[in-house]
Amino acid sequence: MSAALALGDDALVLSHRLGEWAGHAPVLEEEVALANIALDLLGQARVLLSLVGDEDELAYLREERAFRNLQLVEQPNGDFAHTIARQLYFSVYQHLLYERLAAGDGRFAELAAKAVKEVAYHRDHAEQWVLRLGDGTAESHGRMQAGLEALWRFTGEMFQPIEGLDAAGTTAAADAADATDASATAGTAGATTTTEAAAAIGTAGTDGSGVDWAELEGAWLAAVTATVERATLTLPTGARTGAWAAGAGRQGLHTEPFGRMLAEMQHLHRSHPGASW
């Protein structure tokens, strides 16, 4: 069940970042599109987090060390090209992953089958913008390339197996250890309920979706490369894994901007303990 937390946190955090665009988009149609994608992701997050516990307790009362999202999705928006680069990397990953989950018979199959339609649209939106920006003007080309470069180091993390989606290496013990970690780092206000949620994680079995992570990574690289090249851009060459690349969000190690994002997101909810809204 830590898989639901990981996938739910990805959707929750990226949705939040996209929500920051409201009122700031380059054209009205993008106000609609970015909000639409943000809403889809928020919907997915709510379903996934509800599998683990109370969606609001999980969203608002965990501290950053207990979040399991990829570092990629927590990255600040930057300019429009930066946002689109993040969206391309993530949407292609999410689309390919959900396609595989939907095809399997694991506990996420039904949910993924529903979400995959939304995600296909997100992917198309991102790919179309990579083409327009890459093959638009000299300035947009430069900005799109810079966006791809800046976020490249966060892409290796996507293919680290997620416990519960990994057919081979999952054990209940690993899930329990993960859950203990989550409860130990939870904020005081949410400690009780997060512990309950963690207990739920610990007792849940594996999903058995059997995602082949190496195969997923290959498919992702092929898809991203095709789009990048068609957009007259160059695939970045920097490291995607290893000491100097990012990638421990799934273990609750995040980047500096994430804490600020959570502070803003959680402030009101935390200011009124126990209130309902």
Partner 1 sequence: MAAVTADQKTQSTSGTAKAAGTEAGPAGTAPEAADAALLAAFDAAVAADDRIEPRDWMPEAYRATLVRQMAQHAHSEIIGMQPEANWITRAPSLRRKAILMAKVQDEAGHGLYLYSAAETLGTSREELLDKLHAGRQRYSSIFNYPTLTWADVGAIGWLVDGAAITNQVPLCRCSYGPYARAMVRICKEESFHQRQGYELLLALSRGTEAQHAMAQDAVDRWWWPSLMMFGPPDDASSHSAQSMAWKIKRHSNDELRQRFVDICVPQAEALGLTLPDPDIRWNEERGQHDFGAIDWTEFQQVLKGDGPCNEQRITQRRRAHEEGAWVRDAAAAYAAKHTAPSARTAQPAQPAQHVEETA
Cβ nearer to partner 1, comparing 73 with 165: 73
Cα 45 → chain centroid? 10
C-alpha span between 9 and 26 (Å, rounded): 27
- What tokens appear for 173 in the block? 């013990």
SS (H, E, C) 190-258: CHHHHHHHHHHHHHCCCCCCCCCHHHHHHHHHHHHHHHHHHCCCCCCCCCCCCCCCCCCHHHCCCCHHH
Taking the complex as a whole, the smallest distance from the CB of residue 184 to partner 1 amounts, in Å, to 24
Residue 42 touches partner 1, criterion: CB under 8 A: yes
Cβ nearer to partner 1, comparing 169 with 273: 273
Do the Cβ atoms of 49 and 4 come closer than 8 Å? yes
Taking the complex as a whole, the smallest distance from the CB of residue 40 to partner 1 amounts, in Å, to 10
Q: Which amino acid is at 267?
A: H
Cβ nearer to partner 1, comparing 105 with 264: 264
Taking the complex as a whole, the smallest distance from the CB of residue 144 to partner 1 amounts, in Å, to 8
**DSSP result, 82-147:** HHHHHHHHHHHHHHHHHHHHHHS-STTHHHHHHHHHHHHHHHHHHHHHHHHHHTS-HHHHHHHHHH
Q: Which amino acid is at 242?
A: G
Is residue 165 classed as helix, strand or coil in its secondary structure? coil
Which of the residues 216 through 275 are near partner 1 (CB under 8 A)? Answer: 264-265, 267-269, 272, 274-275
With contacts defined by CB under 8 A, how many residues of the chain interact with partner 1? 50
Cβ nearer to partner 1, comparing 215 with 264: 264
- What tokens appear for 109 in the block? 């199959």
Cβ nearer to partner 1, comparing 107 with 143: 143
Stretch that binds partner 1, among 24-32, 95-103, 159-167, 192-200 (CB under 8 A): 24-32
- What tokens appear for 22 in the block? 């409201």
Cβ nearer to partner 1, comparing 36 with 195: 36
Stretch that binds partner 1, among 48-56, 99-107, 148-156, 158-166 (CB under 8 A): 48-56
Which of the residues 59 through 88 are near partner 1 (CB under 8 A)? Answer: 59-60, 79-80
Which of the residues 115 through 144 are near partner 1 (CB under 8 A)? Answer: 128, 131-133, 135-137, 139-140, 143
- Applying CB under 8 A, the residues found at the interface with partner 1 are 12, 16, 19-20, 22-32, 35-36, 38-39, 42-43, 45-46, 49, 55-56, 59-60, 79-80, 128, 131-133, 135-137, 139-140, 143, 264-265, 267-269, 272, 274-277
